[in-house]
Amino acid sequence: MIKPVFAGQFYKADFEKLSKQIETCYTGDLGPGDLPTKRTESKLTGVIVPHAGYFYSGQCAAWAYKEIAESKLPKTFIILTPDHSGKHFDFATTDEDFETVLGVVKTNKEAVNQLLNSKLVKKTSNMQEHSLEVQLPFLQFSNKDQLKDIQIVPIICPTNNNYKELAEEIAKIPDIAVIISSDFTHYGPIFGFTPFKFNIKQSIKDLDKNAIHHILNYDSESFLKYIKKTKATICGQYPIALGIEILKLINSKEPEVICYYDSTKIAKDESQVSYTSIIFR
């Protein structure tokens, strides 16, 4: 069992306080405005969702999780995250379950073993990655009506090596939805990224907008080339590239940007991070 290590840092560490915090993400001025309503039979193939502390990006994340809550529950959520620790060289996963403040999230062990047998993913005991952990309480809260049925396959993505081959393996797993964990442009001295001197706000928006354009066109190669050319500080570039390929293979359609804002909407600072929620039908 993998224990939470970021509770109390990225989100509240108490059951009642965390539940209230997530509710506030839904009902806040930047959130979707209300809690999830009735689940339908409509299919959602995936989402791109941010992973900063709930104080900053939680309201953006709530938009995506509301869509998840109101769509048909898949058998397995594939959660793709970047590697902030720098401890991984290959795609990595685990067959252990995850404990959270809200309970336990089960890992689909059969699906994990399928990926491990492909040799494209390695098993790791180090899954302490905040961009993964912050997704789990949201996933639980938003699927309270089917809490015991939630299963995940978490994959840390430190590289784009063989990502198209891995996408083919993941697409073989039946009845999946893909959760791609990524914040967008990190701008400011603290991030070592200050390419704009004039019209900074609009320039950052344009940088993100152009990156999102490649995503909406399901073009992973152009997306990665754009990141390389612009040096855009999108921390989930590899999860996004892999996710795009999986989504294509499972016949995703109708991508839509449903939320976009930056951290200065929450707290004024000379540095800022962009957040977006994108859904795929």
- pLDDT tens sequence across 140-167: 999 998 999 999 999 999 999 999 999 9
Q: Domain boundaries in the chain?
A: 15-280
CA–chain centroid gap for 64, Å, is 10
Q: Quote the CA–CA distance of 196 and 188 in Å, as a whole number.
A: 10
List the beta bridge partners of residue 153: 78
Q: How far, CA to CA in Å, does 53 sit from each of 12, 61, 87? A: 10, 10, 22
Q: Domain 15-280 belongs to what topology?
A: Protocatechuate 4,5-dioxygenase; Chain B (3.40.830)
Low-confidence ranges of the chain (pLDDT < 50): none
Structure confidence at residue 124 (pLDDT):
94
pLDDT in tens, 45-75: 999 999 999 999 999 999 999 999 999 999 9
Structure confidence at residue 86 (pLDDT):
85
Which amino acid belongs to residue 123?
A: K
pLDDT in tens, 179-203: 999 999 999 999 999 999 899 999 9
Q: Can you list the alpha helix ranges (DSSP code H) found in the chain?
A: 15-27, 54-69, 109-117, 130-133, 135-142, 163-171, 200-216, 220-230, 237-249
Structure confidence at residue 268 (pLDDT):
87
* pTM of the predicted protein model: 0.97
